[in-house]
Amino acid sequence: NSTLNKEEYCHKKLKDTFAIIEWIVDENQSFLFCESEHLRKNTNFKHFNHEKIVETMNLIKDKVIKKISDELPDFFSLEFDGWDNNYGSHLLAIFAVYPKLTDGVKNIQRALLTINTLSLDEGQNSNNILTTVIDVLSTYGKTLDNIVCFTGDNCNVNKGISNLTVKGIYRNNNNDNNHKIPLVGCKAHLLNLYVIKEFLVNHMEPIKKVRAFMIKCRNSTWRRAIKHYTDRDPQIDNAT
């Protein structure tokens, strides 16, 4: 626009870039959203395409990683949780948790390091999850030696992750007697175990039958048929 000087043009371009990215993120839209015919017809975002959005998001990601890397202390805990989505994948979220001094007051800071997509089999495998954790830590210039504990559900997969941390293959050494990184379990899970023990113990047979049927429904053939005729998705009760 010839009515804008160079400084005004750059300011408007940055403002528009922030606005479209904020719109995409807040509304959980695809990056292709910026190429929508209706969007371009009814807004001033005509000059955006998804390649530009991806490029900008990668620049933002790099700055966020640097900011978190600079702030992470030498020792912190890792908090992680996983869940299955409706597309046959397992999502794994990993947080760094550490104390942070702000205006003389110490608070607990929780920084999201990643949300990774794994296959359903990978999401139930301690080796694969620990390998993912190590890769994520390396992005921030950290290793397992910087981790004081894990926080997660009291499931066998997470217990297996904790047990594997003694092995040298995961510590870049040949020593299989490294200190074990402890798992701080979930108190809600312990309460759930108490409820099952005290109130549901006499009803476990029908619960097991429902669980077995849900597992059968989650195979690819049955799941596709269910999604074709309904908006439902078979779920398995969560032990944790």
pLDDT above 90 for 147: yes
Contact by Cβ (8 Å): 168, 159: no
Contact by Cβ (8 Å): 106, 99: yes
> What pLDDT was estimated at residue 1?
46
**Residue 60: which H helix or E strand, with range?**
helix 50-71
Q: Tokens standing for 10?
A: 């750059």
- Single-letter amino acid, residue 111: A
Average pLDDT along the chain: 83
Q: Name the burial class of residue 29, with classes exposed (0-12), middle (13-18) and buried (19+) by CB atoms within 10 angstroms of its CB.
A: middle
> What pLDDT was estimated at residue 224?
78
The distance of Cα 194 from the centroid of its chain, to the nearest Å, equals 29
> What pLDDT was estimated at residue 187?
75
Task: pLDDT band for 8, please (50, 70, 90 cuts).
Answer: low
Which one is predicted more confidently, 142 or 16?
A: 142
Q: Name the burial class of residue 167, with classes exposed (0-12), middle (13-18) and buried (19+) by CB atoms within 10 angstroms of its CB.
A: middle
Q: Which of 217, 221, 214 is nearest to 236 (CA)?
A: 214
> What pLDDT was estimated at residue 234?
78
pLDDT above 70 for 133: yes
> What pLDDT was estimated at residue 114?
93
Task: pLDDT band for 123, please (50, 70, 90 cuts).
Answer: low
d(CA 134, CA 126): 12
pTM of the model: 0.68
